Every structure is written in structure tokens, then in C-alpha cells.
Amino acid sequence: MSLRDRKRARTRQALVEAATTLFERDGYDETTVADIAAAAEIGTRTFFSYFPSKEELLFPESDARVRAAVEAIADRGPHEGPADVLLRALHRVGDDNDDLSGRLAALRLRYIREIPAVRGRALQIQTDAQGEIARHLAAAFPEQLDEVGAAALTGAFVGAVTAALQVLLADLDRLDDPAAVQAAVRRATDVALRPWVTGAA
């Protein structure tokens, strides 16, 4: 990796950290892009060559989860059906929830509820990920699932977990506690997916 690339990665990281600190101190709307750029010691204009928009700061590695899920599909056993694989993939994604120790994740969870632009971006990322997973799932089970069926199955899983999680997080004021969030995620998957684990594959 060249010096250029290393420097660039460092600046990117500095931007995320500066944004995290400023968001925590002043709030999302109160923190301007100019503030963040200044804190990371780059020009305001240059910010937009690192992130296309302010929201994106909250989702610095949105690909990681998708990759984990795709891996889980690839690592399927010989006797697993589509629902089993999907279930395993979702659990693995839930476990990997600790991206970078929490501070940013806590902000993200709060802002997804409070700031429309952030919520919109989060939902779009989820939709895209869902589509990607469905594509891989259909490819893995060509005889049992067509494109539409795979999308429907994936949508049902993700939709169930997301909705359940939302209810569980709604009355959770201490979003800063990673353990509580982790527990909520696990309970959400359990409740949401119970209808499948007992039924047919």
C-alpha cells in the first residue's frame, strides 16, 4: 500500500473520529461539515472527496455485514435448506455488531430514529444488502428458489428481525450499553424467526 493510500486512509479515519466526537458533543444538526473538516484539518471542499454526504460518516463500513452474510451462505452444509442458511447468516451478522467499539454505533442507532436523512440512508443500505443476499441465496439453491422467491424469503427474514428489533430498542434509553443492544438483537432474531426454525426448511 502506497504512502498516498495510507495517508488517505488515515485522513478518512480522522474524519470519522472527529465527527463522532463532535456529534456527541453538539448533536448532528448542530455540527456542520465545515466543523468536521476543520477538526480533521482538511479543507471543507475536500471533505466531499472522502464522503459523498454528511450522513455517510455514520456508515463507514457498510459492506462488512454483507460480506459476512455472503460468506455464511457459501459455507453451507450439505443438508441445509435456504431458511437454515439464511438463519445462520443473520445470526452471524448479529454477532458482528461490534464495529469499532460502539461510540459510532450508538450514535447511529440514535440518529436513525431522530434524523430523517440518516434513517433514509440506513434503510437504503439495508435494502441493497437484502437484494445482494437474495441474489446469492438464489444462486446457491437454483432448484428450490427463483429470483422472486429468494427475494421474498430474504425480505421476510430481514423484515421480521428489523421490525422486532425496532420495538425492542424503542424503550431502550441506554443505547450506550453494547451488551443490552446485543441482547436485544439476539432476542429479536429468536422471536422473529421462531416460526421458521420449527417449520419446514
Partner DNA sequence: TTGCAAAACTGCATCCGATGCAGTTAACGT
Partner DNA sequence: ACGTTAACTGCATCGGATGCAGTTTTGCAA
Q: Which residues bind DNA (CB under 7 A)?
A: 2-5, 7-8, 11, 31-34, 41-46, 48-50, 52-55
Residue 149: which of its own copies, DNA, none does it interact with, CB under 5 to 8 A by kind? its own copies
Q: How far is the CB of 125 from DNA (least distance, A)?
A: 15
Residue 48: which of DNA, its own copies, none does it interact with, CB under 5 to 8 A by kind? DNA
Q: How many CB atoms lie within 10 A of CB 150?
A: 24
Nearer to its own copies, 18 or 28 (CB): 28
Which one, of 132, 192, 190, lies nearest residue 162 by Cα?
192
Residue 147: which of DNA, its own copies, none does it interact with, CB under 5 to 8 A by kind? its own copies
What is the contact surface with its own copies in residues (CB under 8 A)? 116-117, 119-121, 123-124, 127, 130-131, 134, 147-149, 151-164, 166-168, 187-188, 191-192, 195, 199
Q: How far is the CB of 144 from its own copies (least distance, A)?
A: 12
Rounded CA gap, 145 and 151, in Å? 9
Q: How far is the CB of 50 from DNA (least distance, A)?
A: 7
Q: How far is the CB of 137 from its own copies (least distance, A)?
A: 11
Rounded CA gap, 197 and 154, in Å? 15
Phi-psi region of 78 (alpha: psi -120 to 50; beta: other; left: phi over 0): alpha
Q: Please, where are the H alpha helices in 75-142?
A: 82-95, 103-114, 116-140
Cα dist from 12 to 39, 63, 100, whole Å? 12, 16, 14
